[in-house]
Amino acid sequence: MTENNEEKTALILLGCPQVPVQTSMALYLLHSLKQQGIRPVIAGTTAARKLMEVADPGRYYVSEMTDLDDAIDAITGKERDFDLCFVFIHNDSGIAYAGTMAYISKARLYALLFGEHAEDLAGEIEFPCEVVAAKAVHNPMPLKRRLDEVMQQWAAVSKQ
Amino acid sequence: MGGCLEAMKPEIILSQSSFKEAREYIKKNVREYHEVEPGYKIFDVHIIGVPPLYIGVEGEHLIFPYTKPCHGTFVVKVPGGEEIARLRARKK
């Protein structure tokens, strides 16, 4: 939920960083959100967060980061919520985390599916969210194009 | 694995399964099971997945799904302690 009346917030939930495009796309998403005045908070495994830290040593894009369990604690404990939530998904655990966010958070949920089995995984989603899926493993461009389409639609709606 | 849960040396009943497989295992193999909401915290871990999610009780032990971002969902069995009473006391 928006934490003050001015600034919207987005939770970016990173999965296991074994698929190369995740870190690149997460940085790109941070850039897009900041351009729209949305404050991003990253939640992820230790390795996923370290990859972000090392890729952005000047902290141009990465600001607040938190542990996955701490983020879930804050939302279930009603201490905090977000306007938007983007969940990076390339395996069944990613679907499970996105399903959890759909249940516990009031945020508008985006499921970003990538990796070898992105389309199959998209078929597993049975909860309300916007699906952004592309078979992208090493080359982020298919997922970037899909995300650009969604962000443009979202920006247009926000301006109305 | 959560530090507290890890210290309890859980018995791993199913490893690297899907959260749906974990759900089905508990439903089919544990006589007493309770539905919990996603994000329900047990010891130091959250139950992750899409409803319905179940936690089983077998004697003095709890059997529940534990999801790791990189390795899928495990079904683990640990001594339940006070968590059993907390689980049973929940409103249905």
Place of tokens 């089983």: B56
* Residues of A (61-120) whose Cβ lies below 8 Å from B: 68-69, 72-73, 75-76, 91-97, 99-100, 102-104
- B-chain CB neighbours of A94 within 8 Å are 69
Count structural domains, chain B.
1
Q: Output the six-digit token pair for A71.
A: 């983020």
pLDDT at A5: 47
**Is the CB of residue A121 less than 8 Å away from at least one CB of chain B?**
no
Average pLDDT of the residues of chain A = 93
User: How far apart, in Å, are the Cα atoms of B48 and each of A27, A42, A44, A104, A116?
Assistant: 26, 18, 14, 11, 23
Q: Where are the domains of chain A?
A: 8-159
Structural domain boundaries enclosing B37: 3-88
Predicted confidence (pLDDT) at residue B1 exceeds the cutoff of 60: no
**Is the CB of residue B6 less than 8 Å away from at least one CB of chain A?**
no
A48-74 tens-digit pLDDT? 999 999 999 999 999 999 999 999 999
Predicted confidence (pLDDT) at residue B47 exceeds the cutoff of 50: yes
Residue whose C-alpha is closest to residue A41's, from A16, A17, A18, A72: A72
CB-based contact A96 B73, cutoff 8 Å: yes
Predicted confidence (pLDDT) at residue A146 exceeds the cutoff of 50: yes
- B-chain CB neighbours of A126 within 8 Å are 50
B58-77 tens-digit pLDDT? 999 999 999 999 999 999 99
CB-based contact B50 A73, cutoff 8 Å: no
Q: Which residue of A has its CA nearest to B45?
A: A69
SS3 B37: coil
Q: Which residue of A has its CA nearest to B37?
A: A103
**Class of domain A8-159 as given by CATH:** alpha beta
* Mean pLDDT value across residues A151-156: 80
* Mean pLDDT value across residues A39-56: 97
